[in-house]
Amino acid sequence: MRSRLAFAVALAFAAVGLATPVLAQKQGGTLRIYHRSNPPSASIHEEATIDTVQAFMGVFNNLVVYDQTKPLNTPETIVPDLADSWAWDATTTKLTFKLHPGVKWHDGKPFTAKDVQCTWNKLTGKDPDDFRKNPRAIWWHNLKEVTVNGDLEATFVLNRPQLSFLSLFASGYTPVYPCHVSTKDMRTNPIGTGPFKFVEFKRGDSIKFVRNPDYWKAGKPYVDAFEWKVIENRSTRILAFVAGEFDMTFGTDVTIPLLKDVKSQAPKAICEVAPTYVSTNLIINPSAPPFNDPKIRQAMALTLDRKAYIDTLSGGIANVSGAMLPPPEGVWGMPPEMMEKMPGYSTDVEKSRAEARKIMEGLGYSEAKPLKVKVSTRNISVYRDPAVLLIDQLKKIYIDGELEIIDNSIWHAKVTRKEFAVGLNLTGIGVDDPDVVFYENYSCNSERNLTQYCNKDVDALIDKQSQELDKQKRQTIVWEIERKLAEDLARPIILYDRAATCWQPYLKGFVLHHNSIYNNWRYEDVWLDK
């Protein structure tokens, strides 16, 4: 019996071995990817765009990182990076990282715990050479201080327990910066500990990196060089990928309609569709009459036909969603049957609109006497197209919208100054975690809370879920917050879009993440099987 079992086990191992042949990574070659535009700067900490993080993540390391070989970002897929290990103290207010020894910055200087302390001092405004802009400052609002113990240990002291604090470190947005390089230099000539050394950034042309020969992860990266070519014209860059000029497209650059073209012209290309975790959302200025009347805002929520958006904009494959990305990719989002019960999410749109019309009629509006409003948005097609649909849907409830295209440069300035009544906006999420989504977009103290929505009860609930150590209990609070946000019409999420990323079949070792577009661009596992 025992020998039979041993034989069966041996056979099973042999079968697994045969079924999944292990490919030996090939060293060498230049990884070539196109970039859709010029990154605003090379400093990941100062930007909130994939344009920077995708191009420059390979220069750096984090303390921990989401496993680059697994598609979902969850607390379970966090793996060591510069920190070999980490541990919470008994009060869950001190998180200690043991750092990897012998790591060097690209300029040869040693990496120490002081660099970790320095980075977070800059992020919390405690360093005189702080960042000129700090879009994710709210992520670290619970951080009291960073202490060091020798060169290889750093401890993050929190004001209160926050279990998902570790997740913040795993994002592509959270690299460790060197103490000895100024924030200005990090924008133009970044120095990291990562697999690729920065060579040059020629605006409008290319960004070049070379393999870091002293990279502390032995054998990595596999490619000798890494080159981005900036191609702003979408037709040109897609044609160039089809022609084999590039090994990979820019992340989520291939829209669903374009995907058909790519697949027909380059049938061997591997294309994967995933949520972008960039939401299309409706912003209403509650201080601009008559939108200070919650009834009008409620009517607006009732007219939203999310399915129409999804069918028109993404060929029917995007997700209806609340603030959190829904399953299966989203870890914290509501299941569809629960979402349908939220205010404004009913699938019976006609019934909802009849209700909305009643509200509007009660306020004195009718087909003959509509409410005239400007619907403001940015001069980019992904903003303009849903804004046009919004105007169409508002018409059904006696709101006569006029599209107001705002110059890109002043969009955020205008929104911050509340110089709008109704707007259409897009918001990207860095980490699929309620702390990131809620604190960044809905907390009273966040600079990125565009509509300056502020509900102290919601803030209290956000803090409560953040401190909750039990996942099930936390999820219940998260869904309660979702419902409150829907009731308050705090930036109603219309949809989370999906798009494709394509790569050539000879590009190996790349895994697309499915619940964030900001965390899997290290490229240290990528190799070219040419």
Partner 1 sequence: MGAYIVRRLLLMFVTLIGMSILIFVMLRLVPGNITDIIFDSAGFVNPAAKKKIEKQLGLDQPIAVQYITWIGGLMRGDLGYAYVSEKPAIEEILPRIPVTAKLALLALVFSTMFGVPLGVLSAVRQNTWLDYVLRVISLSGLSLPSFWLGLLILMAFVHFLGWIPIYRSDTGSIWQEFVLLSIPAAAVGFRSSALVMRLTRSSMLEVLRQDYIRTARAKGASETAVNYDHALRNAVLPVVTIIGIEAAFLIGGLIVTETVFNIPGVARFLVEAIRWRDYPIVQNLVMFIAIIVVFVNFLIDMMYAVLDPRIKYEE
Nearer to partner 1, 64 or 254 (CB): 254
Q: Shortest Cβ distance from residue 344 to partner 1 (Å)?
A: 25
- Sole residue written with tokens 């939220």: 342
Amino acid at the residue 530: K
Give me 460's structure tokens.
């209290």
- The least CB distance from residue 190 to partner 1, in Å, is 13
Judged by beta carbon, residue 116 or residue 429, the one nearer partner 1 is 429
The whole-angstrom separation of Cα 229 and Cα 232 is 10
Least distance (Å) between residue 35 CB and partner 1: 11
Report, in Å, the least distance between residue 416 CB and partner 1.
4
Least distance in angstroms from the C-beta of 462 to partner 1: 18
- Tell me which amino acid residue 207 is: I
| Residue closer to partner 1, measured from CB, 32 or 197 | 32
Place of tokens 């190996």: 508
In this complex, which beta carbon is closest to partner 1, that of residue 135 or of residue 290? 135
CA distance 411 to 352: 31
* Alpha-carbon Rg for the chain in angstroms: 24
d(CA 482, CA 487): 9
Per DSSP bridges, beta strands 64-66 and 78-80 are: antiparallel
Distance of CA 428 to the CA centre of its chain: 5
In DSSP terms, which residues pair with 65 in a beta bridge? 79
Q: How far apart are the first and last CA of the chain?
A: 48
- Residue from 97, 104, 102 nearest 191 by CA: 104
CA atoms of 320 and 492, how far apart (whole Å): 11
Cα three-residue angle 263-34-55, rounded to 5 degrees: 125
Q: What residue spans of 398-470 are helical by DSSP H?
A: 411-416, 434-442, 456-467
Taken in order 53, 54, 60, 65, is the CA torsion positive or negative?
Answer: positive
Tokens 């300029």 found at: 107
Quote the least distance from Cβ 187 to partner 1, whole Å.
6
Tokens of 63: 């303390």
Which positions lie near partner 1, rule CB under 8 A? 38, 40-41, 46-49, 51-52, 132-133, 135, 184, 187-188, 201-206, 229-233, 235-237, 239-240, 242-245, 265, 407-413, 416, 427-428, 447-448, 450
Residue with smaller CB distance to partner 1, 149 or 408: 408
Distance of closest approach, residue 369 Cβ to partner 1, in angstroms? 33
CB nearer partner 1, residue 48 or residue 274: 48
CB 111 within 8 A of CB 103: yes
Name the token pair of 183. Answer: 């924030």
Return the number of the residue (148 or 242) whose C-beta is nearest partner 1.
242
Smallest distance from the beta carbon of 237 to partner 1, in angstroms? 8
Q: What torsion do the CA atoms of 161, 164, 170, 173 make, to the nearest 10 degrees?
A: -90
Smallest gap from residue 55 Cβ to partner 1 (A):
13
Residue 230 or 284 with smaller CB distance to partner 1: 230
State residue 374 phi and psi, 5-degree precision.
Answer: -95, 130
Q: Between 173 and 332, whose beta carbon lies closer to partner 1? A: 173
Pairing between strand 422-428 and 270-284? antiparallel
- Residue 149 or 379 with smaller CB distance to partner 1: 379
Q: Which residues pair with 314 in a beta bridge?
A: none
- Shortest spacing between CB 225 and partner 1, in angstroms: 11
Between residues 85 and 235, which has the closer beta carbon with respect to partner 1?
235
Least distance from partner 1 to the Cβ atom of residue 415, Å: 8
